[in-house]
Structure 1
Amino acid sequence: MPNLVEIRNLHFSYGARPILSGLQMDFPRGKVVAVMGGSGSGKTTILRLIGGQLRQQSGTVNVDGQMVQNLGNKELYVLRRKMGMLFQHGALFTDLTVFENVAFPLREHTNLPEELLRDMVLMKLHAVGLRNAAQLKPSEVSGGMARRVALARAIALDPQLIMYDEPFAGLDPISMGVTANIIRRLNDVLGSTSILVSHDVHESFSIADYVYFLSQGKIVAHGTPTEMRNSSDPYVKQFVNAEPDGPVPFHQPGKSLAEDLGLGGR
């Protein structure tokens, strides 16, 4: 199967509120695919459906030949062994050292001897430039460094699939560039598939092979970063160029200010 992840005709809602409608998405092996869109467009929900944290109302999510929605807890646990996840804002264990944060998935999923585990953790930290920060606590490192620790934890098991939930949020420009370069380099070195959920156009376009744009739970455009930069689609143009008004309006739809103030048509 050329695609590690395939989503077909997927519909998901929270109660009566639809979140995703009729999604068709492919995530090829060895590629970095960005999923972009405004806040509340359903980007993070896609990651949760791929990881089996949520179950869709209809449609399929296929990961490495397995239908995620049909798996029980034990089977999901095994499948997640092939996944790495970088949570928004890192989500590090604050009481554990940098070393123990990265060691956590190795202790959870393997029975490696301590010496080998130590070597693997230090190699992962070295890959993100933080081997010498191994004994620090998360509170003792910067926000950009903490994000890199979380990235080292996400790749601890050399996963086939790495999912990134807003990896650039809250970072300064230098940290954003460093993080983007690491994501691309690790994807190529590991031969993994990376799904990058983000609203940061510049960094995402610089490393992605393909881009999906979501709006109101639907795919409104998709293509290579170059195709998206040159797109004439109104939503894509508004998003890429950070325009304040367009298909996504500046004002919340509803009554006019004049009506609210009781001025009628005056």
Structure 2
Amino acid sequence: MQTLKPVLHYNLTFPIFDRNVPNLVEIRNLHFGYGDRAILSGLEMDFPRGKVIAVMGGSGSGKTTILRLIGGQITPQQGQISVDGQIVHTLSTDGLYALRRKMGMLFQHGALFTDLSVFENVAFPLREHTDLSEDMLRDLVLLKLNAVGLRNAAGLKPSEISGGMARRVALARAIALDPQLIMYDEPFAGLDPISMGVTANLIRKLNDALGSTSILVSHDVNESFMIADYVYFLSQGKIVAQGTPKQMQESDDPYVKQFVHAEADGPVPFHYPGKSLADDLGIGKTGAPR
């Protein structure tokens, strides 16, 4: 098993996204919906090896659905997703479980086992998927916890640590098996500014130390742009813009500008679409009641 290499420094300067880097995950002509309600339409996405890719967009745009499709929890109605050369929805149950061993997942609120200690939370995937001796398992868990700065919290329960620390424990658990692919579902949700910065730095450091590919689903522009190599913007289940964080910050696309600069009105309107207030109140153009 590959062990976690020490991280000695952190550099916020990344090269321009290189399309020649081979992809770990590829999405082609992907369509998915529930009944007649379309969620994703015609997606084409590349997730190169060793890169951090952010998938951003408003609530309900289909971001988390992409993670569920990659993990094989749901099946596309059209198109395909391949991970490490394997088409996910064509795999047998055993094949899917084997593929998932190459994946790590950080859920939106950590999803730690509340009755288990910090140590046992991180040990859980190792106990489930390996036959390591207790001594080796202990050493690996402590290495993972040390990587997120929480080795000395190993004996505590999740209720005894802060929300930011719990998120870091969940991150240590997500990398327990040294995955090729790490998926993050809103990793910054509910964190204070310090914890957000710590979590963002860890995501980038651990990705580079493991040589993994990271898919970061997030609403948070500052932290995501700080660590991502490339960004996809989704709206109503379609990709409306993509590029490097710098390109997105400088974009003139109305949707990207509204999202990046947190503007209240724009392509995503403030008012829910429908009749005007004047129509509802029965007021004519002159202001007199009809």
Normalised by the shorter chain, which TM-score bucket? over 0.9
Superposition CA RMSD, Å: 0.8
Residue in structure 1 matching 2:153, options 133, 149, 152? 133
Structural mapping, 1:93-108, within 5 Å:
93-108=113-128
**Distance in 2, Cα, partners of 1:260 & 1:92:** 48
> Shift of the alpha carbon at 1:262?
2.8
Which residue matches 1:247? 267
Matches within 5 A, 1:82-161: 82-161=102-181
Query: Rg larger in 1 or in 2?
Result: 2
Local SS of the residue matching 2:231: strand
Q: Deviations over 1:53-102 (max 9, x none)?
A: 01010001000000001012111100000000000010001111100100
| Partners of 1:103 and 1:89 in 2: CA distance | 19
Structure 2 spans left out of the alignment, 5+ residues: 1-20
For residues 111-145 of structure 1, what are the alpha-carbon distances to aligned partners after superposition, in whole Å with 9 as ceiling and x for unaligned? Answer: 11111001100100000000011111111100000
Opposite residue 202 of structure 1, the aligned amino acid is N
In structure 2, C-alpha distance between the alignment counterparts of 1:246 and 1:89, rounded to whole Å? 30
Does 1:72 pair with 2:92? yes
SS of residue paired to 2:54: strand
The one-letter code matched in structure 1 to 2:219 is: H
SS of 1:146's equivalent in the other structure is: helix
1:62 match: secondary structure? strand
Gap regions ≥5 residues in structure 1: none
What is aligned with 1:37? 57
Rounded to whole Å, the distance in 2 between the matches of 1:261 and 1:106 is: 63
Q: Give the C-alpha shift of residue 261 in structure 1.
A: 2.3
Q: TM-score, normalised by structure 1?
A: 0.99
Question: Per-residue deviation at 1:263?
Answer: 2.6
Helix, strand or coil for the counterpart of 2:45? strand
Q: Does 1:184 align with 2:204?
A: yes
Identity %: 82
Partners of 1:113 and 1:177 in 2: how far apart?
35
Alignment of 1:225-264 (within 5 A): 225-264=245-284
Q: Partners of 2:278 and 2:115 in 1: how far apart?
A: 54
Distance (whole Å) between structure 2 residues aligned to residue 260 and residue 146 of structure 1: 49
Letter of the 1:38 counterpart: G
Count of paired positions: 266
Matched position secondary structure for 1:24: strand
Q: How do 1:19-58 residues align onto structure 2 when only pairs under 5 Å count?
A: 19-58=39-78
Aligned to 1:244, the other structure's residue is in SS state: coil
Give the Cα–Cα distance (whole angstroms) in 2 for the partners of residues 139 and 16 of structure 1: 42
Q: Hey, what does 1:198 align to over in structure 2? A: 218
Query: What SS class does the counterpart of residue 178 from structure 2 fall into?
Result: coil
Residue type at the aligned position of 1:116: M
